[in-house]
Amino acid sequence: MTITPHNVSSIPPTQRKGDASMGGLLLAAGKITPENAERVLRMQHELGIRFGEAAQRLGLITEQDVQQVLARQFDYPYLPEGQSKVSSELAAAFRPFSPQVEALRAIRSQLMLGWFSGANKALAIVGVNPGDGVSLFAANLAVVFSQLGENTLLVDANLRQPRQSEIFGLPERAGLSDILAGRAGVDAVARIDDFVSLSVLAAGTLPPNPQELLSRAAFTSLNATLAQHHDVVLYDVPAYANGADLLSIAARAGGVLVVARKNQTLLGDIQIMTEHLAQSGAKVVGSVLVDF
């Protein structure tokens, strides 16, 4: 997925910490042995280079090993491919140094300086049509917010075609619909152990009346409760073309981020959707173009 944020500046690269701690982390991870560490240290002192660079020159580690250690040093962990139930579609989880994740961080920066800089805690991620990439984008955005250290909650509010349980490898469990129907409590929120500060509230049981559930006063109360316990609450919202669910959710969240798919989403449809969003009282805080 290629992501194009609008009017966003790039974030400066993170600086490296001391090489000694890198050596310790490589040892602890079993990437190098104590004997090999001595070889690396000798080359490091002889050539005046970094520990990681010396280890790479000796063929003991790869660039990916170095990047994973750096991520741990700066409390920015990411997942090795094939070692998690989380879907490989989550670029922010597995490929944090890729161009698309740099774009996600730029979007996060703009939202932190704008929408989330005041009392706002909730944001709905919306699109016109099914297949516009809203669910995957929302999941990736939630990951990069959690990597910043923000206590982040991703709510799968798509009670028609939910995807977040699949993306995060969650078992079937009670979720948003069950809470709104009075059949579950906020303990339905699941902590995602692979990340530092990320939780997911799954869609739950697929109801026959999603629009009516989302229009209940219980949703307003739930949104307030979730905002009290999290720094950022992101709602994955069903497509505008699927009905008025989007408007009910956007009205509670207060703000929306529009996702459009390159060469697929029509500008006229976006204009109609944003007009209806404005009538619901929600504010469009920005737009993102995705390509996949």
What secondary structure letter does DSSP report for 21?
H
Residue 68 has pLDDT above 70, yes or no: no
Token couple for 168: 């995060």
Rounded Cα distance, 33 and 42, in Å: 14
Give the pLDDT confidence of 117-139 residue by residue, as tens digits: 888 999 999 999 999 999 999 99
Residue 155 has pLDDT above 60, yes or no: yes
Chain centre distance of CA 2: 15
What secondary structure letter does DSSP report for 82?
T
Rounded Cα distance, 253 and 239, in Å: 16
Report residue 72's pLDDT band, with 50, 70 and 90 as the boundaries. Answer: low
Rounded Cα distance, 83 and 180, in Å: 35
Rounded Cα distance, 259 and 286, in Å: 9
Three-state DSSP class for 255? Answer: strand
pLDDT (mean) for 140-145: 95
Token couple for 107: 């979007």
Q: Which residue has the tokens 């006063």?
A: 217
- Sheet of 232-236, strand order: 2-5, 283-291, 255-261, 122-126, 232-236, 152-156, 198-201, 190-191
Chain centre distance of CA 65: 23
**Torsion sign over Cα 166, 264, 7, 245:** negative
Structural fold of domain 91-290:
Rossmann fold (3.40.50)
Rounded Cα distance, 39 and 262, in Å: 51
What secondary structure letter does DSSP report for 264?
T
Rg (CA), the chain: 21
Rounded Cα distance, 104 and 191, in Å: 22
Residue 65 has pLDDT above 80, yes or no: no
The predicted model scores a pTM of 0.78
